[in-house]
Structure 1
Amino acid sequence: MNIMEYLNEKFPTVELVPTVYYQWDIGIHFSLGKGIYQLRENGELNLERFRIGYKQTLTIFKELFDQNDDLFLVTNIYRQKTQQPTKKMKVYQPNLRDKNKLKQLQVKTYPYPFEENEREEYEMQQFSLHCKVNDIRVNGLLKAAINEDFPLKPRFGGDSVHYPDVFFVNITKDIIFFVYDDRGCEVISRTADRLRPLYEKYYDWIEGVDRERIQKGLRM
């Protein structure tokens, strides 16, 4: 089974592009580092904001994923069609415990998923790897996702028009988890039962404007 076959069977209305939360009824949108601004008054980065975001995303991930779960680690690269690759994408190589698994990496090219008038110039390359959770260094991946807009390491790198998007697709539990940047993350599930405890436990990480929609999807 490849990633598209899995999505067609389990999440038939979902495309792995930002905002999966709005493509599926059963899901939660979490805000990260609520009430803490990214910059201090002197213009320096507020590293406490990022430390909290790292901790929150890792906490949520551990609630959703067990070490022996099967997953697709999916990465979207957005690039100019005529562009020659010049930089390494730092998603798989640094974060795989067994580098031999790189041979199993699959890639497919899709139309640019954002502004329609730019599709002649840009495209999306989607990489996917079927592996176990314990095959990957989760902490580094989550930190790099949060660091998107800031000069912090680790970073994903690559020749992107936009920063790469990385999705964790848990095919054991039928859950998709996506950290879009330091502001927040999203999780969707085939069943509401998997997410209700998460909603109740981390209620304070959810914005009030999102709660009605989430409660409706979770049938609460």
Structure 2
Amino acid sequence: MNLADFMNENFSNLELKVPLFYNWEIGIRFELGVNYDRENNRENSPYLQGVYHRSINLFESLHPQDDEIFMVANVNNYGDGATFNRKLQIFSRYVQEKSILKQLKHVTLPYVYPEDDEDGKYKTHRFILKCKTSDIKYIPLLKAICNNDTGIKPSIHHDVFFINIKNKTVFHVYDDRGCDLVATSSETIKGMYDKYNDWILDYDRNKIDQVFN
């Protein structure tokens, strides 16, 4: 099954773009960054170590090593002539077995935020890799995603989505502040809701509680 078929069958009205949580009825928004300290925003700071800890634990709880997943990256081109490398570092740097990069798919889409593209010049390049969780160096990858707004390298500023084919979930870390998890069934992610309840973003807690209670 390819990504388009999977999404049409399971998430027919959901676009792979930010914010997942507000665009799907079954989901959880977790807080990653707690007690932010602007003066102590270093890689080994307690703040960032806490961000990494939460993102890695959530990812591992959702994606057993042998599960098949889609790893999807949206790379936006703003019509300024900027070029990109088809074998993005997102994939070449963070994939264990380089041979599976032959399976990397690329599609060009209309810009996923059309409301911000009055002239229709922007495009979104979507890169899709179907693989197993064990194929990905997900710990350094997640750290790079969390580093997006911190000024710490390496960092990834593209949106990267992890889609579990078996459990029918979509997981997205948007930056050091938090991450979204959506699913086709509340039962699928009830364990995440229970186990990591203390990490749920309080701002959205009432909405999330209604889904599971």
Q: What TM-score comes out, normalization by structure 1 length?
A: 0.89
Structure 2, unaligned stretches of length 5 or more?
A: none
Residue in structure 2 matched with residue 63 of structure 1 by the alignment? 61
C-alpha separation between the residues in 2 aligned to 1:144 and 1:107? 22
CA offsets 1:86-114 (integer angstroms, 9 cap, x no match): 56732100111111111111011111122
CA offsets 1:102-137 (integer angstroms, 9 cap, x no match): 111101111112252525221111100100000111
1:150 Cα deviation (Å)? 2.1
Residue in structure 1 matched with residue 191 of structure 2 by the alignment? 197
C-alpha separation between the residues in 2 aligned to 1:115 and 1:149? 24
C-alpha separation between the residues in 2 aligned to 1:117 and 1:17? 14
| Residues 116-125 or 103-112, more deviating | 116-125
1:139 Cα deviation (Å)? 0.5
Residue in structure 2 matched with residue 167 of structure 1 by the alignment? 161
Identity rate of aligned residues, in percent? 34
1:56 Cα deviation (Å)? 0.2
C-alpha separation between the residues in 2 aligned to 1:37 and 1:209? 17
Aligned length: 209
Higher helix share: 2
C-alpha separation between the residues in 2 aligned to 1:191 and 1:200? 15
Query: Considering only aligned residues, what root-mean-square deviation do their CA atoms show, in Å?
Result: 1.7
SS at match of 1:72: strand
The 5 Å alignment of 1:107-186 reads: 107-118=106-117, 120-156=120-156, 163-186=157-180
SS at match of 2:91: coil
Preserved CA contact (<8 Å) 1:90 1:155? no
C-alpha separation between the residues in 2 aligned to 1:50 and 1:82? 34
Residue in structure 1 matched with residue 41 of structure 2 by the alignment? 45
Structure 1, unaligned stretches of length 5 or more?
A: 157-162
Residue in structure 1 matched with residue 52 of structure 2 by the alignment? 54
SS at match of 1:148: helix
C-alpha separation between the residues in 1 aligned to 2:47 and 2:2? 37
Preserved CA contact (<8 Å) 2:32 2:179? yes
Preserved CA contact (<8 Å) 2:114 2:120? no
Preserved CA contact (<8 Å) 1:178 1:186? yes
Residue in structure 2 matched with residue 207 of structure 1 by the alignment? 201
Judged with a 3 Å threshold, the aligned counterparts in structure 2 of structure 1 residues 39 and 189 are, in CA distance, closer, same or farther, namely: same
C-alpha separation between the residues in 2 aligned to 1:85 and 1:117? 21
| Residues 72-81 or 88-97, more deviating | 88-97
Q: What TM-score comes out, normalization by structure 2 length?
A: 0.91
SS at match of 2:148: coil
